[in-house]
Amino acid sequence: MEGSSINPWASETSLSVERLFAEFGIEPIDQVVDRLPEKPVFFRRGIVFGHRDYNQIADAIRLNHPFYVMTGFMPSGHPHLGHLMVMKEVVWHVMQGGTGSICIADREAHAVRDLSWDDCDRYAKEYLNCLFALGYTGKTYSQRKSRDLQDLCFEASTKVNFSELAAIYGFGPDTDLGHAISVTTQVADILYPQVAGKPAPTVVPVGLDQDPHIRLTRGIAHKMRMFTIQEHDGCISVRSKNAPESAMDSIAGMFPRVRRCSGHIDIYDASCGDVKTQIRNIEIAHGGYGFVTPSATFHRFMPGLQGGKMSSSVPDSIIGFMEDDITVKKKVMGALTGGRQTLALQKEFGGRPDECPVFLLNLFHMIDDDATLAALHEQCIRGELMCGQCKSDTASRVQEFLVKFREKMDETEHQVKECGWL
């Protein structure tokens, strides 16, 4: 696999975190989260490991400034525990003051997975019901039903060519246009909250396989701005990319000390932050978008019960939200583990919890208390806890979680109807 190509539609990825940091410019999250008022479990436990430009989101949370949290769900099957992480992260950001925006990526499901529109709608209702059960508040929309999104998609598509898509996604001569359009639709999804509302920082929680969409969107957001702003010694230079002269006139009249040149204006005795705010307002007033370049967080995938990524294409690897106790018990008890080949070896050398899907199921979702999780980890390493007992205990936790979660889904089902999906 080439360094510039990640396949966001693959069921698994072999890219290491270290390679992502080195080759793709993703930054470790641990330095940024210290700026947050609180650290939720997905930050504390390293489930969310990296980010692009999350500093502006941390600042918005700390200073109580406006920001958006947006993500999309492709309704290609029933939701399961593999989707729970990003749902939790979205809900947490909403609770920190973010405005939520959830896209149902039905166009992508139709184009990439060949699902019927009726199936897309059926699965969409399940995803939204799960989100509302977790406490989500905010906007929801369908890609195919939003005309504003489609218009934005068209505008975004003028800023990208097939050579760029080939470099980022590995598209070739056999790639159909629907697949390519689904990419620019996702770009529009990420930018859409700033069109439906006002420009503000936007965080998109994703798995690392979705970074191609993030990189492409950040680049297009920059291309769709009318101006670039650069800070030089003694001045701030505002350069026009495609701005009308009337916008340049507004800038020249906005600040007391300016020097106007061909294609750019140098501004003196002003802060860069104030200049950026005023330029964004001028851009919007003259028909531009004024986008704030979106941010992203990247979370590790919860492994499937049979190893690899938890995926609907491998039924025994997932636990669906609607599965009964018998099925849950069977799947967990049949899961791969980080245990040794024999009981004697397990007692002598201990288990390997950090590579065990059953332990990681507890780390991601089933054990909230850090001390309890740490004790479980230690017992496994010391060979004091056998895999059979751990599986049985974990199955019980999953069963209890699902019972309570389905009760919440029943309580919030009316919200799906109220937002127009039933």
CATH of the domain at 335: 1.10.240.10
Q: Is residue 6 part of a domain?
A: no
Look at residue 422 in the predicted model and tell me its pLDDT.
53
Statement to judge: residues 200 and 53 lie in one domain: yes
Tens digit of pLDDT for each residue in 234-288? 899 999 998 999 999 999 999 999 999 988 999 999 999 899 999 999 999 999 9
Statement to judge: residues 248 and 396 lie in one domain: no
Q: Which of 247, 264, 299 is the last residue of a domain?
A: 299
Look at residue 312 in the predicted model and tell me its pLDDT.
79
| Residue 309 · residue 303 · CB < 8 Å | yes
Q: Is 265 exposed, middle or buried (0-12, 13-18, 19+ CB in 10 A)?
A: buried
Statement to judge: residues 91 and 174 lie in one domain: yes
Statement to judge: residues 183 and 92 lie in one domain: yes
CA distance 78 to 351: 33
CA torsion sign for 363, 369, 371, 372 is: negative
Q: Is residue 366 part of a domain?
A: yes
CA torsion sign for 63, 40, 371, 31 is: negative
Statement to judge: residues 181 and 77 lie in one domain: yes
Q: Give the pTM.
A: 0.90
Statement to judge: residues 143 and 181 lie in one domain: yes
Q: Is residue 274 part of a domain?
A: yes
Look at residue 1 in the predicted model and tell me its pLDDT.
29
Q: Is residue 2 part of a domain?
A: no
Q: What total of structural domains would you count in the chain?
A: 3
| C-alpha distances in Å from residue 255, one per residue of 91, 231, 240, 248, 259 | 41, 16, 17, 12, 10
295 backbone dihedrals φ, ψ, rounded to 5°: -105, 170
Q: Is residue 218 part of a domain?
A: yes
CA distance 421 to 370: 38
DSSP string, 164-195: HHHHHH---TT--HHHHHHHHHHHHHHHHHHH
Sheet holding 258-261, edge to edge: 227-232, 235-240, 264-267, 258-261
Look at residue 241 in the predicted model and tell me its pLDDT.
92
Statement to judge: residues 83 and 190 lie in one domain: yes
Q: What range defines the domain where residue 348 resides? A: 315-418
Look at residue 215 in the predicted model and tell me its pLDDT.
93
Look at residue 13 in the predicted model and tell me its pLDDT.
47
Statement to judge: residues 65 and 156 lie in one domain: yes
Look at residue 17 in the predicted model and tell me its pLDDT.
65
Q: Is residue 3 part of a domain?
A: no
Statement to judge: residues 260 and 337 lie in one domain: no
Look at residue 179 in the predicted model and tell me its pLDDT.
81
CB atoms closer than 10 angstroms to residue 284: 15
Q: From the CA atom positions of the chain, what is the Rg in Å?
A: 24
Statement to judge: residues 92 and 215 lie in one domain: yes
Q: Between vectors from CA 24 to CA 16 and to CA 11, what angle results, nearest 5°?
A: 50
Which residues of the chain have a pLDDT value below 50? 1-14
Q: Is 242 exposed, middle or buried (0-12, 13-18, 19+ CB in 10 A)?
A: exposed
Sheet holding 48-52, edge to edge: 27-28, 48-52, 295-299, 202-207, 68-73, 99-104, 139-142
Statement to judge: residues 255 and 357 lie in one domain: no
Statement to judge: residues 326 and 238 lie in one domain: no
Q: Is residue 207 part of a domain?
A: yes
Q: Which of 157, 178, 163 is nearest to 220 (CA)?
A: 157
Record the tokens describing residue 90, joined without a space. 């979205």
Q: Is residue 9 part of a domain?
A: no
